[in-house]
Amino acid sequence: MPLPDRIVIASRKSRLALWQTEHVRDLVMRAHPSVAVAILALSTRGDEILDRSLAKIGGKGLFVKELEAALADGRADIAVHSAKDVPVALDPAFELAAILEREDPRDAFVSNAHAGLAELPRGALVGTSSLRREAQLRSRYPGLDVRPLRGNVETRLAKLDRGDYAAIVLAVAGLKRLGLGGRIRAVIDPEVSLPAVGQGALAIESRTGRPDLRELLAPLHHRATAACVHAERAVSLALGGSCQVPLGAYAEIAHGSMRLRGVVASPDGARVVRGEVRGGPEGPERAGEALAAELRSRGAAEILAALQ
């Protein structure tokens, strides 16, 4: 199948999003030197509305709608996303054409005065952009004052540096990609804060029915990461996951076996349900559905019903 001579990549305008898109551009050009690649930078509602939490304004899908519109009307051929920002119930008009090898998926503790969560004094103000982190931190450290923190990575770090927060929690991957790994005081163990679905992985979206783009992107696709991400997405899809649900899912593959962990919590952290399944990576969606069923049986159904 002939490959396209030129492609356009849609991207958000944030520094991190552009880094991710430029990274994909460079990988495509390295794999296909004859293909010209351009970037279309767009502003999204998720980037523009910063005074309310994502859960209250429609969820992470606000980061992808404008990019999908560019795919739909032909202004762009592919879009680059953080996999954790892609809604698990994807519009059938679009598909994930490739998923790149994962960076560290864990959460990072960032502070100018404290070495870790356990070192924070009672009542210390901790900022984070995710309900998932909020709920898990409130459960494990009930003496902390955990509050929402919106904005891009640089904005959140600036709020920490001017003293608005004693500490903030960000994704390890984003800090590393921006060359800010030195700001990480501690990496948070998944047993304390289980990562978000797809965290640390980059997903490339295209219109459905573009086998030429799948072939173009095949050298970038990482099968093990894709299996993990699809398993995690299946957990969230089966549980009706969204930004309104404090939910984490994290899959790892070692020695040919997948370990898939999940957590569902009430926003205040008062109720936390955890579960785990193991299986082969060849059936990631089945593993995700099995874990979702286990979580429901352990009490996640009641938590989810209360959030409706």
**Which is catalytic among the residues 26, 73, 77, 85?**
85
Three-state DSSP state, 6: strand
**Residue 254 CB partners (closer than 8 Å, separation 6+):** none
Active site residue 85: yes
Indicate the DSSP class of residue 271: -
Do 277 and 260 touch, CB atoms closer than 8 A?
yes
N residues, the chain: 308
Tokens 């004859």, residue located: 34
Looking at the DSSP bridge assignments, the partners of residue 126 are: 146, 167
End-to-end CA distance of the chain: 47
Task: Catalogue the long-range contacts made by 218-222 (C-beta closer than 8 Å, 24 or more residues apart).
Answer: 218/98, 219/27, 219/31, 220/24, 220/27, 220/28, 220/31, 220/98, 220/100, 221/98, 221/99, 221/100, 222/99, 222/100, 222/101, 222/102
Read off φ and ψ for residue 214, nearest 5 degrees: -60, -40
In whole angstroms, what is the distance from residue 134 CA to residue 268 CA?
8
Retrieve residue 218's tokens: 């095949």
H helix or E strand, kind and range, residue 109: strand 107-110
Do 123 and 269 touch, CB atoms closer than 8 A?
no
Indicate the DSSP class of residue 116: S
Active centre residues (catalytic)? 85
